[in-house]
Amino acid sequence: MTGWKLSEKVILITGGARGIGAATARELARRGARPVLADLDGAALELTAKVISPAPLTIELDVTDPAQCEAAVQRTVEAHGRLDMVWANAGIASFGPLQLTSASAWTRTVEVNLLGAYYTVRAALPAIIDQRGYVAVTCSLASFAHPPGMSAYAASKAGAEAMCNSLRAEVAHLGVEVASVHPTWIDTDMVREGDETQPAFRLLRQAMRPPFKRAYPLERAVGDIVVGFEQRRRRICTPRFVQLAHLLRPTLTSRAFERNLLAVAPEITSVFQKAVAERGVDSASASDRVAAQLGPERVR
Ligand code: NAD
């Protein structure tokens, strides 16, 4: 689309308190946009807002609550008079073989990453249509590459990508564009906490082939995402090799590609079982930050 400049654009960003959302919000503000930061973590929100100028509106919300998503859009429109772009970026990760992992962590991962993105986008859509604006949803390389131990995360991100693809066709005639954003491992707390506290996750990452095993610097992801937003791209891959993985996606589920993952899967299971025995299933399946979001087990 021509004539779209980030300058002065009002952009509601969920998961804006830390990691990819926070760092990108800072760069968007530097380029003259007006990010609005929404997140579950009120303390982190305030810290991030302090390093953004001019001071952004911050909104504490849980994206799994549709009413809170609607209220966040309303507050944004009240404060800025409009909403040009929504970026459903809030996400969590959990880990563990499907049969053994915490059911609360599995279902919460889908609730935050897929249903949360749906609630966010649905709430924002009327205001975005008014502005012939732009919708982005943070998906992942895991939307099309599905390693063992990551069934919840991969399912949530594959679903998020599918949602974007359907929505894109629905709103194109209204002048609205829709992006799915696909990072590989990026060096944020999400990945660091997994490496540090979940030995089975660490084992998976070590077993992956290059370039899939590497965690890339946050600044690189921010650069790619901001350029993608500027160009209103329909798919933003970071770094560029993820674009190639997208094009070659059928090969990612071939036996040949999966060979090293098939070989390490039994060890992942036994390391995970040991962690469950030592720490309990919720703690083995998710970081402390995510475990704090888990309610009682609803699936037995
Ligand atoms: P992060 O943990 O640093 O940041 C995620 C943010 O989302 C946090 O501020 C957290 O409080 C917020 N959040 C979590 N649950 C929420 C909820 N229910 N309601 C509102 N906010 C909530 O992680 P990140 O690496 O910056 O991840 C950002 C997005 O990028 C996520 O969707 C993640 O799945 C995706 N992603 C990350 C990587 C990676 O390697 N870091 C790779 C691919 C995709």
Q: Which residues pair with 11 in a beta bridge?
A: 35, 85
pLDDT of residue 178: 98
- Looking at the domain assignment, is residue 268 inside a domain? no
Phi, psi of 69 (to 5 degrees): -65, -40
Asked whether residue 202 is assigned to any structural domain, the reply reads no
The reply to whether 262 falls in a domain is no
- Chain mean position to CA 18: 12
With a cut of 60, say whether residue 299 has pLDDT above it: no
Name the band, by pLDDT with cuts 50, 70 and 90, for residue 4: confident
CA angle (3, 7, 47) in 5-degree steps: 150
Per-residue model confidence (pLDDT) at position 295: 76
Query: pLDDT class for 298, splitting at 50, 70, 90?
Result: low
Q: What spacing in Å lies between the alpha carbon of 199 and ligand 1's midpoint? A: 20
Asked whether residue 106 is assigned to any structural domain, the reply reads yes
In Å, how far are 36, 37, 46, 79 from 59, measured between CA atoms? 8, 6, 10, 12
Q: Is the pLDDT of residue 183 over 90?
A: yes
Number of domains the chain is built from: 1
CA–CA separation, 25 vs 64, rounded Å? Answer: 22
Pocket test for ligand 1, best of 190, 246, 290 (most atoms within 8 A of CB): 190
Instruction: Report in angstroms the alpha-carbon separations of 37 from 26, 96, 98, 168, 290.
Output: 10, 31, 33, 24, 20
Which domain CATH number covers 68?
3.40.50.720
**Average pLDDT for residues 133-137, to the nearest whole number?**
99
pLDDT at 202: 97
* Nearest ligand 1 atom to alpha carbon 45: 9
Confidence of residue 297 (pLDDT cuts 50, 70, 90): low
Taking residues 276-292, report their average pLDDT.
95
- Domain carrying residue 174: 10-189+211-252
Does residue 297 sit within a domain? Answer: no
Instruction: Determine how many CB atoms are found less than 10 A away from the CB of residue 21.
Output: 25
Average pLDDT over residues 90-117: 98
Q: How far, in Å, is the centroid of ligand 1 from the Cα of 39? A: 10
Catalytic positions are: 153
Within a domain: residue 295?
no
The predicted-structure confidence for 200-231, as pLDDT tens digits, reads as follows 999 999 999 999 999 999 999 999 999 999 99
Residue of 24, 37, 47, 92 to mutate, ligand 1, most atoms within 8 A of C-beta:
92
Nearest to 282 by CA among 269, 293, 271, 266: 293
Classify residue 15: in a domain, yes or no.
yes
**Residue 245, pLDDT above cutoff 70:** yes
What is the best residue among 40, 121, 141, 224 to mutate for testing ligand 1's pocket, by most ligand atoms within 8 Å of CB? 40
Residue 36 included in any domain: yes
Which of 63, 84, 68 is CA-nearest to residue 11? 84
DSSP state string for 213-252: TPPBPHHHHHHHHHHHHHTT-SEEEESTHHHHHHHTHHHH
Paired tokens of 50:
């302090």
Residue 101's pLDDT band, with cuts at 50, 70 and 90, is: very high
Percentage of the chain with pLDDT > 90?
96
pTM of the model: 0.97
Ligand 1 pocket, Cβ-based, cut-off 6 angstroms? 14-15, 17-21, 39-41, 44, 61-64, 89-92, 112, 116, 138, 140, 183, 185-186, 188-191
